[in-house]
Amino acid sequence: MNIWPRPHSKQPGTRRRKTSTVRRSAPLVSAATVSAASVLAATCYAIFVFLLVSCSSSKPTDGLVADTKRFTHAIEPTQASHEALVALVESVVDGDTIVVRVDDVTETIRLLGIDTPEKTGGPRPAECFGDQASEFARSLLPAGTEVHLTRDEQTRDQYGRMLAYVHRADGIFVNQALLEQGFATTLFFAPNTAMSEPFQAAADYARRNWIGLWPACGSSDVVLD
Domain match, 177 and 153 both: yes
Which one is catalytic: 127, 151, 161, 168?
161
In a domain, 15, yes or no: no
207 is catalytic: no
Domain count, the chain: 2
Which one is catalytic: 110, 138, 156, 207?
110
* Residue 93 Cα distances to 53, 123, 136, 138, 176, angstroms: 43, 12, 12, 9, 18
In a domain, 31, yes or no: yes
Of 112 and 17, which is predicted with more confidence?
112
* DSSP strand pairing (105-111 vs 162-168): parallel
In a domain, 154, yes or no: yes
Q: Give this prediction's pTM.
A: 0.66
Q: Say what the pLDDT of residue 81 is.
A: 44
Residues in the chain: 225
Q: Say what the pLDDT of residue 35 is.
A: 52
In a domain, 211, yes or no: yes
Average pLDDT over residues 182-187: 98
Enter the DSSP assignment of 173: B
What stretch of H or E contains 50? helix 12-57
Q: Say what the pLDDT of residue 110 is.
A: 98
In a domain, 188, yes or no: yes
Q: Render 175-204 in DSSP notation, one character per residue.
A: HHHHHHTTS-EE--BTTB-TTHHHHHHHHH
Instruction: Classify burial at 164, counting beta carbons within 10 Å of its beta carbon; exposed 0-12, middle 13-18, buried 19 or more.
Output: buried
Which one is catalytic: 107, 118, 127, 180?
118
Domain match, 171 and 211 both: yes
Domain match, 38 and 109 both: no
Domain match, 92 and 152 both: yes
Average pLDDT over residues 176-202: 97
Domain match, 84 and 49 both: no
Q: What is the pLDDT of residues 87-146, one digit of tens each?
A: 999 999 999 999 999 999 999 999 999 999 999 998 899 999 999 999 999 999 999 999
Q: What is the pLDDT of residues 53-91, one digit of tens each?
A: 343 333 333 334 434 444 443 344 444 446 899 999 999
161 is catalytic: yes
Q: Say what the pLDDT of residue 116 is.
A: 98
Residue-range definition of the domain harbouring residue 39: 25-57
Q: Using an 8 Å Cβ cutoff, are 109 and 68 in contact?
A: no
118 is catalytic: yes
Q: Which residues pair with 107 in a beta bridge?
A: 100
